[in-house]
Amino acid sequence: MQTDVRPASMPRINTPALAEAFIEEQLTAIRAQVGDGKVLLALSGGVDSSVVAALLIRAIGQQLVCVHVNHGLLRKGEPEQVIRVFGEELGANLIYVDAIDRFLDKLAGVADPEEKRKIIGAEFIDVFAEEAAKLEGIRFLAQGTIYPDILESVAGIKAHHNVGGLPERLGFELVEPVKLLYKDEVRVVGKALGLPDSMVYRQPFPGPGLGVRCTGAITRDRLEALRAADAIVREEIETLPELPWQYFCVVPDFKTTGIRDGKRTFDWPCIVRAINTVDVVEVTPVHLPYDLIDRLAARIPAEVPGISRVLVDFTPKPPATVEWE
């Protein structure tokens, strides 16, 4: 599919049979597009890029080169998990790139969320260009773009690095096999491809990572506080018998007064957000149990230096987007 507009006649992929039909269609399309060329894939470990990886491995095998870029904006333990699952368990042709200082130095002092997203997207493109220069035969860049990414970019709601377009100087041609699918459809396809549930049902994570949850100009100390608080939020919410579709926290770039060890503090708040949705076009907030909120309010300020209080975001989409930036 070379269009960015989903055909009105396209059925919603909600059964194994429809998923298998889509997979066969994409295998044919990928082989026709790629031929004997090599493909670079931005492998974040999220469901979208994982499904794209599985499709490409089935279609072209070792012609696929997976690149995992650690831009310093990943969740706690995430780079290690990607290396273990994809490099060791799935045997993918995986290149790990430590680009933490490179990304954070570029983002220093940048407060505008759209500029942050574009800087992150541009750096990704530069990283892939450098990795491609080390390899022979790279002509394609695969991405886990899905349809809500395209809709939000076209509507001007937010820029997505997946749909920003590659500079012609790179000579890369995009391979985007799931770009006309909604998130629920991507999961059905992932199941049909045989991916483990831990991967298929992994909660979504934005391309710019924690960069859009550390609002305003990112500082390394606030980013580390966010990473630590996010780990606590995930640990506590994952004790629930039924998980929300997505759950995370935001640490904004303003401070509030607090008390620690009997002394006045001036630290950041932590804002918890949990939502349910089918297609990400509309979302409803999840009202977490009060005892869970109490645990978060007790643990996060006690365990995370720099955070003084915990708030909960109950706003649906619309009027709010899923992410704060």
**Mean pLDDT across the chain, nearest whole number?**
91
Region 219-313: CATH code: 3.30.300.10
231 pLDDT tier (thresholds 50, 70, 90): very high
User: How much is the pLDDT for 85?
Assistant: 75
User: How much is the pLDDT for 1?
Assistant: 44
**Percent of residues, the chain, with pLDDT higher than 70:** 94
Q: State yes or no: pLDDT of 163 exceeds 80.
A: no
User: How much is the pLDDT for 121?
Assistant: 87
302 pLDDT tier (thresholds 50, 70, 90): very high
pTM here is 0.79
Q: State yes or no: pLDDT of 165 exceeds 60.
A: no
10 Å Cβ neighbour count for 217?
Answer: 14
User: How much is the pLDDT for 3?
Assistant: 79
**Average pLDDT, stretch 40-51?**
88
**Per-domain residue ranges for the chain?**
16-200, 219-313
Q: State yes or no: pLDDT of 160 exceeds 80.
A: no
Q: What is the distance between the alpha carbons of residues 119 and 117, in angstroms, rounded to a whole number?
A: 6
Region 16-200: CATH code: 3.40.50.620
115 pLDDT tier (thresholds 50, 70, 90): very high
- The larger pLDDT score, comparing residue 89 to residue 230, is at 230
Terminal Cα distance for the chain, rounded: 30
